[in-house]
Amino acid sequence: MLSARTIYGEVFGNDEASGLFCSIAAGGEARGGWENGKIAALVPGSQAGLAAKIARHGADEDKHGRIFAALLRKRGLEPVAVPPDADYTMRLEAAGTGLAHSRLRRGEELTEAGIVTCLAHSRVTGQRASEQMRALRRHAGDRPGIARAVRVISADEDHHLACCHEELLRLGGPVPAQPSHA
Ligand SMILES: [Fe+2]
Ligand SMILES: [Fe+2]
């Protein structure tokens, strides 16, 4: 029967599957690092605290990319090309989730609506990452190298998810009272 345990067992028990899995993960993490770095630089100066949190998120994603690249190397594998169907970050962008890379490359400061769009994107991708890492933690227990890497990433992803959630709640806080014209 197909279960998460048997799927992850096959992924980590097979060089080809492992190479593809780690290549997809490394690419997605590196892309998350690039996006968050860009977003942090475009957050207005009035939101410096938020910019620092997003920059930190980007640095963590870059680190995750390096961790998956190291898992590939340790196994003596080269990164492989990610098939478009499996490139979840590109698929999200194509579906209009988050801000397009062309918008981020333009270098224009983000409006509050733009910031909310980015945080909503991070909230969704963060939840996926957090759940995937928890599943990996459960099913990679007997492979010490992988389990250690996954524990580090999993703790970061839980933190990213909590941060995004908190920032969205903060931005959606009480509506300011309308000025009275009486
Ligand atoms: Fe990550
Ligand atoms: Fe993350």
pLDDT for the residue numbered 177: 64
Q: Which ranges in the chain belong to alpha helices (H)?
A: 4-13, 15-42, 48-74, 88-94, 101-106, 112-139, 144-171
Give average pLDDT by consecutive 10-residue segment, the chain, 182 residues: 84 92 95 96 96 98 97 95 90 90 94 95 94 91 84 97 95 67 50
Separation of CA 2 and ligand 1 centre (Å): 26
pLDDT for the residue numbered 90: 87
Q: ∠ CA 102-121-31 to the nearest 5 degrees?
A: 55
pLDDT for the residue numbered 175: 59
Question: Which DSSP string do the residues of 14-37 spell out, in sequence order?
Answer: -HHHHHHHHHHHHHHHHHHHHHHH
Separation of CA 181 and ligand 1 centre (Å): 49
Separation of CA 23 and ligand 1 centre (Å): 13
Separation of CA 66 and ligand 2 centre (Å): 14
Tell me which residue of 129, 110, 122 sits closest to 67, measured CA to CA.
129
Distance in angstroms (rounded) separating the CA atoms of residues 89 and 94: 9
Separation of CA 176 and ligand 2 centre (Å): 31
pTM (2 decimals)? 0.89
pLDDT for the residue numbered 145: 84
Separation of CA 37 and ligand 2 centre (Å): 12
pLDDT for the residue numbered 154: 97
